[in-house]
Chain A
Amino acid sequence: MINGAEAMVQCLKAEGVTRIFGIPGVAIAPFYEALYNEPSITHVLVRQEQAAGHAASGYARITRRPAVCVTSSGPGATNLITALATAYADSIPLIAITGQVDSHLLGHDVFQEADMRGATESFVKYSYLVKNVNDIPRIFKEAFHIASTGRTGPVLIDIPCDVQRNELKGEFVYPEEAKIRGYKPSVIGNGQQMSKVIAAINKAKRPLICAGGGVILSNGEDVVRSFCEKNGIPLVSTMMGIGTIAKAHPLYFGMLGNNGKPYANKAVANADLLMVVGARIADRAVPKPEKLERRLTVIHIDIDSAEIGKMLGPTIPLVGDIRHIFTELMNADIHIDTSEWIRELEEIKVSTVDHRVFSDRLVNPMTLVQTLSEKMDDDGIYVADVGQNQLWSADNYVMKNGRFLTTGGMGTMGYSIPAALGAKMAEPDKQVVAVCGDGAFQMSMFELATIAVNKVPLKILVLRNEFLGLVREHQEKVYDCHYSGVQLYAYPHYDKLTQAYDMDYFHSDSNETLGEELDRFLACTNAAIMVCDVDSANNTK
């Protein structure tokens, strides 16, 4: 006989889970007791629940499997909501396990009771409130299935404490498969639509692929790349699609959008066929989608049919898994000559002037991102936070064969440190650098303890301009330089902070010392923070 909590642990084992992130509390205590007796699962104690969700997100993005975060009931669980919303917006597969008050007390507003199903309704792909201990194996099987298939995303399992304590009837059996009659995500593209797509490509003179985060979520980078190379089709990407193709690749024409490369937007403006692949056509990437649909043929390929037609009416919609569809497209009869178009794009790339001017005072953020990403290992993982640092990162990151992680959907400040921690734990041998501003840093600063305790040699690079820079920039342009509530001042003293957490400290305040200091920072075998002073006058646009 085993109890519910032991069954939960058995379910995680059956799913091959070896590491989870969380903070215990009384309402989830039976689960932690079961965990105590299970050597195959390592629990990483974070310092605030939101970080458990972000760390799991970083871990999931690198392992490309659902990752698990655990909290207690009430405030522990509500602290997790921002991380769930972040994961939901970026379609990251998470399993969030939250303890809950005893079943008979549900709905009585007792101590640390929060209606987590209700509270997370719009931030999770699906949620469960487990009422019967015997449902645990089925629910876990379903949850992992839902999180990892179709458009991936977070799934919440809220488990009352008494259900964790109750004993299962009979033997524990983990189901072979999940049977959900209302859930059958399309993987294979519809044959007729596929033919239309192939015909449209064959007809195109100036085809262009816009790769979104969906390409990476479907593990489709290599096959999309091969497709571009085979047919000579150029590619631009959204922020979440960075990583599909190396920056130096001759067919890559940058990130589009109002924070992207002007030549990428010109490429879209000059194309006659746009293949939107795993992208949401969100406002930052395509500010006026209705203009696009009037002018050119749009093929929209996405696993989520609701994304298609949400922002723009595509000429040819195709629902399915990107990896699967592009594998098929590799075998399709496509014969086009795009050499003239590519030449034109190269000219556009060279002739488009970037009007942005960066201050020569202190460290130039553009140079910083370029130098850092060039110096990083080819397969290194670059985790960008949110704010000016994110836009500078996305714009200047030199993608080689690594990963670029950031939260493009929700834009949650404080993401990079816990996400980088999760990424590093997933791939301990890879170089992982979290890049954040001094605002975002202080939103996750408490996780330095988790880094220290677990001896994770993580690198954190802080761009310090003593402001909430992106809001400052907005206030400068829109509110006549009325800097309201954005000044951070020079705190904390990073040298003392690194000392407090047994980390190494590096610092650069000029472009001259930057390269050398970055070398020392990256070569350091200990966890380290490098602070780069940046002129607050630098803007992103």
Chain B
Amino acid sequence: MKGIFSVLVENKDGVLSQIAGLFARRGFNIDSLAVGETDKHDVSSITIVSTADARTIDQIEKHLNKKMDVIKVRRLDEVKSVSLEMMLIKVSYTAQNRSSLIELCSVMGAKIMNVSAKSIMIEIHNTPDVVAEFLDLLRSFGILEVQRTGTISMAKS
């Protein structure tokens, strides 16, 4: 199963390494990780997505809670939360496939950020599955570079 954890942590040095270390040490898998400061400068928010069996997901939550610098752990339900990811992707194009590439971007709600003689840089932000799908669709054009932010999630209420 997929576990989405929204974790509020003390915004101080070494905390991210503690969290990453916990996952590495106990063999927990990280699908995606996103970190940023919240509205309070001393609190950061980490969104961690992990795929594992139910007992392991449970253990992840408990071990996150055990960390002294973790202020709060919320386990988010995929349906009852909004999850977004952003991707910057550079693909090559030719005169023949340029228009279909632009059309694909427009259908998927992606923005063209930069165009050079041989490549186009595209930005998309959407749910993680749409971003993954878009990435797949672009494979035939020739992907030159990809940057993804990792998922950020928030409960609907």
Contacts and interface: CB of A to CB of B under 8 A. Distances in A.
Interface of A: 117-118, 121-122, 125-126, 129, 146, 180-183, 304-306, 308-310, 313
B69 interface: yes
B69 A182 contact: yes
Nearest to A131: B13
21 contacts: A121-B21, A129-B14, A146-B68, A180-B68, A181-B71, A182-B10, A182-B68, A182-B69, A182-B70, A182-B72, A183-B68, A305-B62, A305-B65, A306-B59, A306-B62, A306-B65, A306-B66, A309-B59, A309-B62, A310-B59, A313-B55
Interface string B110-128: 0000000000000000000
Contacts of A129: 14
A182 to B, nearest CB: 5
Interface of B is mostly: helix
Interface of A is mostly: loop
Nearest to B9: A182
Nearest to B43: A181
B59 A122 contact: no
A129 B18 CA distance: 14
Nearest to A151: B66
Interface of B: 9-10, 14, 17-18, 21, 25, 55, 58-59, 62-63, 65-72
Contact of B18 (A121, A146, A305, A310): A121
Contacts of B58: 309
A306 B63 contact: yes
Contacts of B9: 182
A74 B70 CA distance: 29
B14 A117 contact: yes
Given A182-B67, A306-B66, A310-B59, 16 more contacts: A117-B14, A118-B17, A122-B21, A125-B68, A129-B14, A146-B68, A182-B10, A182-B70, A182-B71, A183-B68, A305-B62, A305-B66, A306-B62, A306-B65, A309-B55, A313-B55
B9 to A, nearest CB: 8
A180 B70 CA distance: 10
A122 B68 contact: no
Nearest to B18: A121
Contacts of B69: 182
Contacts of B71: 181-182
Nearest to B55: A309
Contacts of B67: 182
Nearest to B70: A182
Nearest to B14: A117
A111 B79 CA distance: 55
Contacts of A304: 66
A117 B15 CA distance: 11
Contacts of A310: 59
A519 to B, nearest CB: 49
Nearest to A180: B68
A304 B14 CA distance: 23
Contacts of B17: 118, 121
Contact of B25 (A122, A146, A183, A308): A122
A366 B25 CA distance: 39
Nearest to B73: A182
B57 to A, nearest CB: 11
Contacts of A308: 62
Interface pairs A-B: 5 shortest CB-CB: A306-B62, A182-B71, A126-B68, A182-B70, A305-B62
